[in-house]
Chains A and B, each alone.
Chain A
Amino acid sequence: DIQMTQSPSTLSASVGDRVTITCRASQSISSWLAWYQQKPGKAPKLLISKASSLESGVPSRFSGSGSGTEFTLTISSLQPDDFATYYCQQYNTYSPGSFGQGTKLEIK
């Protein structure tokens, strides 16, 4: 099974900061990685697919990079609406552990 590990689990930051969340796969998943944003009581929202492809309507301050086993989600300048929990998900191959455990982005 492929395991996805995100770091950090919690991140405190301020409006305007640049933040980076890391997602590591236990084996290579090429670029088959998606990033989601989830706010309390809401369904996840797809931000990025194929590691770096920004979904339509997602602000350009969000970007993704990486391939193989290491990936990053970067928010270039945090906005108040960005405080949420972020998840990575691999879709390279059938594996029960497809989601990372999440990174909660909190206001400092």
Chain B
Amino acid sequence: EVQMLESGGGLVQPGGSLRLSCAASGFTFSSYAMSWVRQAPGKGLEWVSTISGSGGSTYYADSVKGRFNISRDNSKNTLYLQMNFLRAEDTAVYYCANGRACSGGSCYSDYWGQGTLVSVSS
């Protein structure tokens, strides 16, 4: 059974940092690109970042480029999102999702984690 479990969310002040993790199991993690998708309260889905299976290619939304860093540890089957210089508008539930099929950094996903809430507020 495929499982993806996010952790690391919480309340942080503007300008602060957080590191999200997504522990995956039930599939060959290194064979799949992985993505982070977020959803602000009451809003739609917003793609944040994607990393290739090897970790050699990364892609970012313009809204987070230069502030967020996606990485993965295939030996631990874990995906990360380092978020720096956080802003109020980064407040959202962050989902990790697999890349079932991708074209460049654009993937669709058939497995999603349950999400972790990041709140940026003073």
Q: Contact residues of A with B, CB < 8 Å?
A: 32, 34, 36, 38, 43-46, 49, 55, 85, 87, 89-96, 98-102
Q: Are B103 and A99 in contact (CB under 8 A)?
A: no
Question: Range of interface residues on chain B?
Answer: 20 to 34
Give the interface of B toward A (CB within 8 A).
Answer: 37, 44-47, 59, 61-63, 95, 100-110, 112-115
A40 CB to closest chain B CB (Å) equals 10
Q: Which 4 A-B pairs have the closest CB atoms?
A: A94-B104, A43-B112, A34-B108, A94-B105
Q: How far is the CA of A85 from the CA of B95 in the complex (A)?
A: 17
Q: How many A-B residue pairs have CB under 8 A?
A: 61
B108 to A46, Cβ gap below 8 A?
Answer: yes
B-chain residues with CB within 8 Å of residue A98 when the two chains form the complex: 47, 106
Contact B101 A43 (CB under 8 A): no
In the bound assembly, the distance between CA atoms of A38 and B109 in angstroms comes to 13
Judging by beta carbons under 8 Å apart, are A87 and B62 in contact? no
Are A102 and B44 in contact, with the CB atoms below 8 A? Answer: yes
**B88 to nearest A CB, angstroms?**
20
CB distance from B79 to the nearest CB of A (A): 15
Is A43 a contact of B114 with CB atoms below 8 Å?
Answer: yes
> Given A34-B108, A49-B100, A91-B107, A96–B62 Cβ distance below 8 Å?
yes
CA distance A67 to B23 in the complex (A): 36
Known: A46-B108, A99-B44. 11 other contacts (CB 8 A): A34-B108, A36-B45, A38-B45, A43-B112, A44-B112, A46-B100, A49-B100, A49-B101, A55-B110, A89-B108, A94-B105
